[in-house]
Amino acid sequence: MTRPLVIGNWKMNLDYVEAIHLTQQLGVILKNKPLEHVELVVVPPFVDLRSVTSVVESDRVDLEVGAQHASQHDTGAHTGEVSVPMLQRLNVHWVLVGHSERRAMYAMNDEVVAQTLRTVLRHGLQAVLCVGEELAVRESGEQVDFVTAQLHAALAGVEEKSRPLVTIAYEPVWAIGSGLTASTEQVRDMTEHIRTVAASLSLDTVRVLYGGSVNPENAASLMIEGGVDGFLVGGASLKAESFLTIGQVANDCYDVKR
């Protein structure tokens, strides 16, 4: 089993003071109870990044830091955007690409997702490609074709040297922030399908995460029966205890499955 990856997406929550506080809390708990096998990443709002990376460095917190989005451009007249080189200067090592909220609310189409993914990879950062269907697509039974198309649009032609930098997060849109978790069968079926499509695009060893109302109670079954390599966590990542309990579950599942 590959090393589990648990990512906390703070979305547009927590100002920089609150972000410092949460990072310090995570650091204290992790010092007392380190997660031996799990790679943990937090993804704060842009304006918190400098504060969070400073705490991570000064307190030696065993966490990496990511951004929720980045521009597909490196520089220039793109008001309101943040570039990958700017993130890199802040010791940000991860970028979420094509989160469903960006796709739905900020007109991020498949082409922009693909361009952004290329930019993130060109600079050597880890890219978490988010894919997943809306409820209407699931109800019409077209989720497999839908996700396949998203994967092809984003991943076709990724250079060999960049492939280890790609993670895929399956996030059914209807499960995000809704309290409705996909069933373990739904997660397993889609995860297996994603691995098959990824392998056909030469991404044989890609990590596949699940996101959508993950919490400390459902994490174990999603991981073991759903067959994922970890989680992209929204709401439950805003509290140190719930986020790290999910991390602990992933850690224990790794021990069991190994």
The residue from 8, 44, 98, 211 that contacts ligand PEP (CB under 6 A) is 211
Cα angle, residue 141 at apex, residues 215 and 144 outer, rounded to 5°: 70
Does the footprint of ligand PEP cover residue 232 (CB under 6 A)?
yes
Backbone angles phi, psi at 72, to 5 degrees: -75, -15
Catalytic residue among 99, 133, 139, 192: 99
Calpha distance 144→170 (Å, rounded): 11
Which residue number, 214 or 256, has a Cβ lying nearer to ligand PEP? 214
Task: Tell me the three state secondary structure of residue 23.
Answer: helix
Is residue 18 among the annotated active site residues?
no
Calpha distance 4→37 (Å, rounded): 7
User: Site mask, ligand PEP, residues 101-130, x = CB under 6 A?
Assistant: ------------------------------
Pair 116, 70: CB distance under 8 Å: yes
Which residue number, 92 or 214, has a Cβ lying nearer to ligand PEP? 214
Beta bridge partners of 221: none
In the region spanning residues 157 to 176, those forming contacts with ligand PEP, defined by CB under 6 A, are: 171, 176
Which residue number, 98 or 235, has a Cβ lying nearer to ligand PEP? 235
Of the ranges 18-26, 46-54, 233-241, 243-251, which one interacts with ligand PEP (CB under 6 A)?
Answer: 233-241
Provide the minimum distance between the beta carbon of 158 and ligand PEP in the complex, in angstroms, as a whole number: 22
Task: Tell me the three state secondary structure of residue 20.
Answer: helix
Does the footprint of ligand PEP cover residue 219 (CB under 6 A)?
no
Q: Which long-range contacts (CB under 8 A, 24 or more apart) does 55-62 make?
A: 55/20, 55/23, 55/24, 55/27, 56/23, 56/27, 56/91, 57/91, 59/23, 59/24, 59/27, 60/27, 61/23, 61/26, 61/27, 61/30, 62/30, 62/34, 62/35
Does the footprint of ligand PEP cover residue 217 (CB under 6 A)?
no
Provide the minimum distance between the beta carbon of 122 and ligand PEP in the complex, in angstroms, as a whole number: 24
Is residue 171 among the annotated active site residues?
yes
Provide the minimum distance between the beta carbon of 44 and ligand PEP in the complex, in angstroms, as a whole number: 13
The residue from 235, 240, 251, 253 that contacts ligand PEP (CB under 6 A) is 235
